[in-house]
Structures are given as C-alpha cells and as structure tokens.
Copies of this chain bind each other. A is one copy, B any other.
Amino acid sequence: MSKPSSTDKQATLTEARQRIDSIDQQLQSLISERARWAQQVGRAKGPLKAAVEYYRPEREAQVLRGVIDRNDGPLPNAELVRLFREIMSSCLSQQQPLKIGFLGPEGTFSEQAVRKQFGHAAYGLPLGSIEEVFQEVAAGNADFGVVPVENSGQGMIQMTLDMFLVSKATICGEVELRVHQNLMSLSGELKDVKRVYSHPQSLQQCQAWLRVNLPNAERIPVSSNAEAARMARLAPESAAIAGDAAARVYGLKIVAGPIEDRSDNTTRFLVIGRSIFPRSGNDRTSLLVSVRDKPGALYDVLKPLAEHGISMNRIESRPAHTGKWQYAFFIDISGHVDDEALQAALDEMKPAAADVRVLGSYPVALP
C-alpha cells in the first residue's frame, strides 16, 4: 500500500473537520431538544418540589441498555454509557440537581460510584460515615445515598447491611466498580522488589499472591494506590500495587497482574433512597428475611424461591439484634417485586419467616 501524500492527508483532515463541525451542530440541537423535552416531562408531572421526583432510575437503565444494544463502535460501551449518563445528568439538573450523600472525603471510590451513577451535574454530599449517609437520606437532606456493600476480595461490608436492620432505607440501584490490581515497578523485574507500597485494602486483596511470590518484601501501606505508584517511581527496589492505569500514568512496568486473590475484584455499591421504583426489565430484588430459630427454618424460607424458578444471587446472614430472632438474612434474587412469580414466592415465604421485608427492586448494574 502506498503512503498517502501530504496533500491527501490535508484533504482528509479538512474533510474530517468539516464533518465533525456539522456533527457537532446536530449534536447540540439534539441535546438542547432533549433538555426541552425533559422540561416537558417535569411540567407534566405538575409543580413538584424535589429533584428526586423527576428521577426515574428504571427509565435511565432502559435508555442505557438501549445504548449498549445499539452500539457498534468505535467507542466502548462504558464510554458511551458515561456520555449518556452525563447528558441525562445535565437534563435532569435543569429542575434542580439531585443531592447524593456518600462516604467522603471527595476523590474516593465512593465518589467515583456517585459520578458513575448520577453524572457530574448532581451535587455530591460527602459524609463522615455510612451511618450518616443513611440518616441524611432518611431525613430528606440527601435524595439518594451511595454506600459500599461488597468487595469481592473481602466479602460484604457489614456496617451497610446492619444499617438496614435499623433504618427504613430502600435500595434503588447498584453500582459496580471493577478494579484489577497489578504489581508494578521501574524495572518490571520481580527479583528487584524489596518493598511493596499500596493502600491497606489493596495489600489485603493481594495477600495470598504476595505471600507466595514476595514472602520477604516489606509491605508499606500508604494513603492511595496513586501515592504508591508515585513512591515506586522514586526507588528501583520498590514496587506498587495499583490499577494498570497507574502504570501508564507513572511510567512503571507491570511485574505481574492481575494479582488480586479473587479474580473478579469488584466493589459493589448500593444506591439507597426512600421508595421502590417500577420495573426496568432487568432487575434485582433485595430481601431482608428474619427467621425463627428452629431447625430447617432457612430451608423453608428458600423453598418458594426455588419452586418459582427465581434465582438467588447472594445470601448473607447477620445477627438480628432483636433478641427475639436469631438471624436476619440478606437475600438478593433476580426479578422485580412487581413480577408475578416473585409476588407468589414472597407470599409463600411469609408463613415460614418471622418477617420478610423487601428492601428494594432495582436495575441490575450497568457497565
């Protein structure tokens, strides 16, 4: 193939830029039109006060699934979803931006989850504890809260589960952040590594790998994985555990990765609110089930789910704190509480359980 001449190149550049200019004009008029229709939706709903009354997570999930279904590149699904979230975030914020409480400070994973779900036109409300997030949502000071509930390396986050035992919060959504850990250093050679820097959580997520591969290396906890990569760049005998982006950013070579002990290293967050939203078409339901302290009680409770063909995604038991019942179970199942099969199963569970509470039905996490 012959190399394009510089005149050809210039012609291509000029054409591409003209096309992009014309595309941008169309994009702009469509975005503005979308914002006007979003206003119409607001008006049709009458004079409501809070942004939360305009927000429909099930509708957003449908829009974003449509985006993924239609996508044939070149942008990856996650990038297109991100752009549409931002467009929806801007359109929604015309009424009044949503206020989202999260476990602060700013710049943490929790804030990333907030931005992934609600975009940058929402107000983030950094709070001091998971408990405070629940309280602010209950008091109406935040429209929604985002709390970590599961880290695949370390299991469920008990504090969040326990809050549902004492709070009336509902679950309105879930957000997943996927993180792969890598060992990285200047030389990229395992034999050079005398010290490993990382955030304490990341060190913990990789402890089995470290025990086998670097039994004698010193492990030094630092405030963030970015800080770890920064330290590793300053000393050839140091390495950092961090995401692969950090290696590109800090000019380090990947020694090994992924090295997390669980290969699917995802942090899962719940969006908490004060109501349960309608079906999106691909939903999950979270139940809080208190069980009487007698043999076979849990089995009896789970039987209706199996019989109605409802798949169970997670189950976690917690001491129920009530004295009366020994255990509470957090159970995630597929489907929406408005589904007939799920309704029937719930009805059949009730006699076997001391209490069955639907914490929420919400769209399954998008990429």
Interface, chain A (partner B; CB < 8 A): 4, 8-9, 12-13, 16-17, 19-21, 23-41, 43-46, 59, 63, 66-67, 70-75, 79-80, 82-84, 86-87, 90-91, 93-94, 99, 104-107, 111, 115, 120-121, 123-128, 141, 223-224, 226-227, 230, 245, 248-251
Contacts and interface: CB of A to CB of B under 8 A. Distances in A.
A126 B236 CA distance: 20
9 contacts: A13-B45, A20-B34, A28-B70, A32-B71, A32-B80, A82-B90, A83-B90, A123-B249, A125-B250
Given A37-B19, A70-B25, A79 B99 contact: no
A106 B107 contact: yes
Contact of A41 (B17, B72, B79): B17
B4 A44 contact: yes
A27 B30 contact: yes
A26 B107 CA distance: 34
Given A79-B121, A249-B123, A71 B37 contact: no
Given A75-B90, A123-B249, A44 B16 contact: yes
Contacts of A9: 44-46
Given A226-B106, A245-B123, A13 B27 contact: no
Contact of A59 (B17, B33, B104): B17
A189 B226 CA distance: 43
A281 B75 CA distance: 31
Nearest to A100: B249
A338 to B, nearest CB: 19
B249 A99 contact: yes
Contacts of A71: 28, 32
B79 A93 contact: yes
Contact of A27 (B20, B34, B245): B34
